[in-house]
Amino acid sequence: MKKQIKAPASDLSRRDFLQVFAAGAATAVGTIALKIAPLANMAGAQDNTLRIAWLTPATLDPRSASGDSEIAILNALYDYLIETDAAANLVPRLASSWDLSDDGLTYTLHIREDATWHDGSPVTVDDVLWTIQWHRDSESTVASLLTSAASIDAGEGNTVVITLGESNPDFLYNLTDNKFVILKSGAENIGEVFNGSGPFTLEEMIPGDRAILSANADYWGGAPAIERLEFIFFDDQQAGIAAVQGGTADGIMRLDNSSFLGFSADVNFNTTDIPTSGHHLARLRADRAPGDDVRVRQAFKLATDRDAIWERVQLGFGAVGKDSPIGPAFGQYFLAEAEVPPRDPAAAAALLAEAGYPDGLDMTLHVPNSGTWPDLAIAFAAQWEEAGIRVEIQLEDENSYWVEDWMEVDLGITGWGARPIPQLYLDLAYHSEAPWNESHYSDARVDELIELARASLDQAERTAAYKEIQQILLDSGPIVVPYFFAQFMVLASHVSGVALHPFAGRTNFGGASLG
């Protein structure tokens, strides 16, 4: 019989193949088409609208807003009392100036008299007090930031007087909190209706798509140069990046290192990167074996090449770490002169042997499964292996990991977001009674220094305390901090006048102009 019998199985497999290839080809063509098509939109920038790509906001209620896009909208529509600049200095906003009494306990904030709400009425001290009461009534995190204030009252003239129970040199930083926008007294439907005093007014909110903001011509700081500000929402970062590449958006502030590197080589974009105090770290539990032995902690430090990790995982953006949460972004507080011992796997292995682990250590490294964390884990694992520290990488689902496990595991990687003052990190994670003391670290001297820095009004004394803490953590602490990451901003080359804030959502667009 010459004719070949065809089994249906063969037809099926070929058909499957054709389908797979067709799908693949369609995807490829689609990708290319997507990259070309939006270029036609470049012309859209002519109508004096600045379009920024953000992740889709989940809530605009100031009590629960936290993401960049949520804060960005609040920051455009409302005013804060005080804000911080890129170097974490306090900058006046609704509070035009402030005084501190000699005993360090009473702050007097002078509220601007030329500020008005979008409905035309003036901003008053009552509005400030009402906002504080509103937060207290709902027990929000802003209220918890103000618990150290014994009283907050209206003072003489247009002032708010805050009296503290005990001195706190960093108290004003609490007023810069992302959630602490000033609302109009008696405001209703907060989070849905926005009668703010900020540089922009809300023209239209299209949920899941975009927020269209118009310049507030009566803004006390001067009307913005752009007529319109559009925040375009994307559900994932890559989509936002593609929109900027294609020209449907003019800028983006949350993007991964490698995409940023791609933009920085493109003449159509201006890129900005600033080092932040945000950092990633590997930490050992210091309250039980093996991390309770200082030699083991030192072995981890000696086995790590921080420069190589910074160069590879962060592509050299940000700054190299020195095993403490206080980095170069904190300026004078940073122990720049600290000498990190060069990597020496043999010496690390010797320390492990001394500590009772002559054959090295086998541990599980718990890593949140997103961003650059897995890469960091891989880099750590390869370096540590040469010192006999063999780790198995356990990728953890972020949603559940941060709920409970991260405080329990022996060896883990944690990311700490940028904060404006060093004290916050120390109070949160390094004091033996800190709520997020993830390494269960307890060092009497460190506790003493943290408490000293918390209350002292003597700047030199605080600086010395911070520096000593850094040295102790570098010498014997339970953490390895390989780098501080950068905050990025990519803007189309025709956009100017935007100064990036270390927390991207606090970037002000009032000074932006399109040319």
Partner 1 sequence: MNPTPFSRQIVALRRFASILLRHPQSALGTALVFFFLFLAVFGAQLAPYPNPNDQSHAPRLSPTIDIGALQLGEHPFGTDRLGRDVYSRVILGASSIFRIAGLGTVISVLVGSAVGLYMGYRGGWFDELLGRVIDALLAIPALLLALVLVGIIRNLDFEIGSWQAELADNVVLLVIAVLYVPVVARVARSSALDIKTREFVEAAEIRGEPTYYIIYREILPSVIPALVVEASLRFSYAIFLVASLGFLGFGARPPSPDWGLMVNENRGGFYQLTPWALDFPALAIAILVIAVNLMSDGIRRAVQKGN
What is the binding site for partner 1 (CB under 8 A)? Answer: 4-5, 7, 9-10, 13, 17, 238, 241, 255-262, 308, 311-313, 315, 362, 364, 369, 374-375, 377-379, 381-383, 385, 392-395
Query: Phi/psi at 492 (nearest 5 deg)?
Result: -60, 150
* Distance, CA of 440 to CA of 31 (rounded, Å): 49
The secondary element (H helix, E strand) that includes residue 215 is strand 210-215
Least distance (Å) between residue 250 CB and partner 1: 19
Least distance (Å) between residue 289 CB and partner 1: 15
Least distance (Å) between residue 345 CB and partner 1: 12
Least distance (Å) between residue 212 CB and partner 1: 29
Least distance (Å) between residue 261 CB and partner 1: 6
- Pick between residue 394 and residue 513 the one whose CB is nearest to partner 1: 394
Least distance (Å) between residue 487 CB and partner 1: 16
What DSSP assignment string belongs to 392-404? EEEEE-HHHHTTT
- Pick between residue 255 and residue 299 the one whose CB is nearest to partner 1: 255
- HSE of 125, CA atoms in CB hemisphere, 13 A: 15
Burial 108-136 (b: 16+ CB within 10 A, else e): bbbbbeebebbeeeebbbebbebbbebbe
- Pick between residue 189 and residue 258 the one whose CB is nearest to partner 1: 258
For 87-152, give the secondary structure using H, E and C: CCCEEECCEEEEEECCCCCEEEEEECCCCECCCCCECCHHHHHHHHHHHHHCCCHHHHHCCCEEEE
Token pair in block for residue 55: 């992740």
Least distance (Å) between residue 313 CB and partner 1: 7
Query: Phi/psi at 228 (nearest 5 deg)?
Result: -140, 145
* Distance, CA of 388 to CA of 390 (rounded, Å): 6
Find out whether 366 and 409 touch, Cβ atoms under 8 Å: yes
The secondary element (H helix, E strand) that includes residue 444 is helix 444-455
- Pick between residue 204 and residue 392 the one whose CB is nearest to partner 1: 392
Least distance (Å) between residue 37 CB and partner 1: 19
Query: Phi/psi at 275 (nearest 5 deg)?
Result: -70, 140
Least distance (Å) between residue 379 CB and partner 1: 6
- Pick between residue 54 and residue 509 the one whose CB is nearest to partner 1: 54
Give the count of beta carbons closer than 10 Å to the beta carbon of residue 189. Answer: 8
Chain-centroid distance, C-alpha 392: 28
Give the count of beta carbons closer than 10 Å to the beta carbon of residue 105. Answer: 17
Q: How far apart are the first and last CA of the chain?
A: 79
Least distance (Å) between residue 305 CB and partner 1: 10
Show the CA angle centred on residue 393, arms to residues 390 and 394, nearest 5°: 140
- Pick between residue 3 and residue 137 the one whose CB is nearest to partner 1: 3
* Distance, CA of 138 to CA of 133 (rounded, Å): 9
- Pick between residue 218 and residue 375 the one whose CB is nearest to partner 1: 375
- Pick between residue 255 and residue 514 the one whose CB is nearest to partner 1: 255
- Pick between residue 353 and residue 381 the one whose CB is nearest to partner 1: 381
- Pick between residue 216 and residue 383 the one whose CB is nearest to partner 1: 383
